[in-house]
Structure 1
Amino acid sequence: MKKRGPKYNQIIDAAVTVIAENGYHAAQVSKIAKQAGVADGTIYLYFANKDDLLISLFQEKMGEFIKKMEVELKEIKSMEQKLFLLIQSHFQLLAKSEHLAIVTQLELRQANKRLRESIAEVLKPYFLLLHAILREGMEAHTVSADIDIRLASQMIFGSVDETVTNWVINNQKYDLVALAKPLHEMLIYGMKMNKS
């Protein structure tokens, strides 16, 4: 069990800033400690190493988001509205923190195999949320009973993720949250043309 407390959160927030501004490989522990206002050695009271800090950062931020979504999605009845809320909230989370967006979309991708496996573990509850939303759609007959839930979840997550990555690569020059509605509609209704 990880040691928690105000310094833990300070270090996590400092790591987001330092990694976003310097890149993961150039983000020295000493820079993170300075940004957090703690001694270098304090970092190691909470984290085994820089890799552990990166994983913990992602677990913390994604974990908070998933818990929030689990609560908010219970209040919504329709599958379509649930999916829209999830997409919109994902975009809002990253739109309000330029640094977090850079870390999740660019820096986490450069990590080694062990880190990537840990990141996949962190994302499992997100995919479970998508599975549940799609199952509800199948039960309500708003989603085809023939769809492969795992494949559909990967497609939805991939679309959301790629939209955010493009926004980051383009230096956040446009309104990310405004893309939630058109992306949601494309995912729900597809690109099927009306027959004339």
Structure 2
Amino acid sequence: MRRNKPKYKQIIEAAVVVIAENGYHQAQISKIARQAGVADGTIYLYFKNKEDVLISVFQEKMAMFVEKINEVIAGKKTAAEKLLVMIEEHFKILSTDTKLAIVTQLELRQSNKDLRFKINEVLKEYLSVLETILDYGKERGEFSADLDVRLARQMIFGTMDETATTWVLNEHKYDLVTLAPKVHELILNGFKS
């Protein structure tokens, strides 16, 4: 698997920086290679093209999101607690890596339809974590028995996503993580049984 090769992660990290600073369309492979400290040709040993680099960045970072979120929700007893720590962790990850936030919240949105489809495929695992929390909340009676889990999942993700995008567009002028309890409360009020 290419992700275990020595320079792969180096290139992924460089791509985040270059795409955040230049925008996806102006992020040439040569700039990514320079940032990673590798020859241009080295990029092509790991990636087919710039689109493949962007998708790989998203896959790597989303896998990290999912791993970290599963870790923090594991010890929580209620669905409400799990949901709160998921929102907090989502915001923490983005606020500690503002370049990643720019890439995920702005640059991924400017892609073509095929790329968007691939991005949505990568999101499935993340959304599955949300679904698990919602199903758990329904089973425990925390959430309404007739809660539409798929719609609720979209609503939660959309709310977190828009909150993070607004924060990026406002150039990180406020603490994103402090918004987590407010977002959590708004969501929970809509799901109670």
State the TM-score, normalizing by the size of structure 2: 0.96
| Aligned positions, number | 192
Alignment partner, residue 69 of structure 2: 69
Q: Is the 8 A contact 2:83 2:184 kept in 1?
A: yes
Q: Distance in 2 between matches of 1:64 and 1:170?
A: 25
Alignment partner, residue 4 of structure 1: 4
Measure how far apart 1:118 and its partner are.
Answer: 0.7
Q: Is the 8 A contact 2:3 2:9 kept in 1?
A: no
Structure 1, 182-191 or 32-41: larger mean CA deviation:
182-191
Alignment partner, residue 45 of structure 1: 45
Alignment partner, residue 154 of structure 2: 154
Q: Is the 8 A contact 1:167 1:173 kept in 2?
A: yes
Structure 1, 73-82 or 163-172: larger mean CA deviation:
73-82
Measure how far apart 1:147 and its partner are.
Answer: 1.2
Q: State the secondary structure of the residue aligned to 2:173.
A: coil
Alignment partner, residue 141 of structure 1: 141
Q: State the secondary structure of the residue aligned to 1:135.
A: helix
Identity of aligned residues (%): 59
Q: Distance in 1 between matches of 2:99 and 2:125?
A: 23
Q: Is the 8 A contact 1:4 1:46 kept in 2?
A: no
Q: What amino acid sits opposite 2:120 in the alignment? A: A
Alignment partner, residue 36 of structure 2: 36
1:16-64 C-alpha deviation (Å, 9 max, x unpaired): 0000000000000000000000000000001110000000000001101
Q: Is the 8 A contact 2:72 2:86 kept in 1?
A: no
Distance 1:174 1:191, change over 3 A: farther
Q: Distance in 1 between matches of 2:183 and 2:73?
A: 19
Q: What amino acid sits opposite 1:179 in the alignment? A: L
Measure how far apart 1:114 and its partner are.
Answer: 1.1
Measure how far apart 1:71 and its partner are.
Answer: 3.0
After the TM superposition, which residues 1-196 of structure 1 pair with which residues of structure 2 at under 5 Å, given as runs? 1-2=1-2, 4-190=4-190
Q: Which runs of 5+ in 1 are unaligned?
A: none
1:70-89 C-alpha deviation (Å, 9 max, x unpaired): 23322211100000010000
CA-based RMSD of the aligned residues comes to 1.5
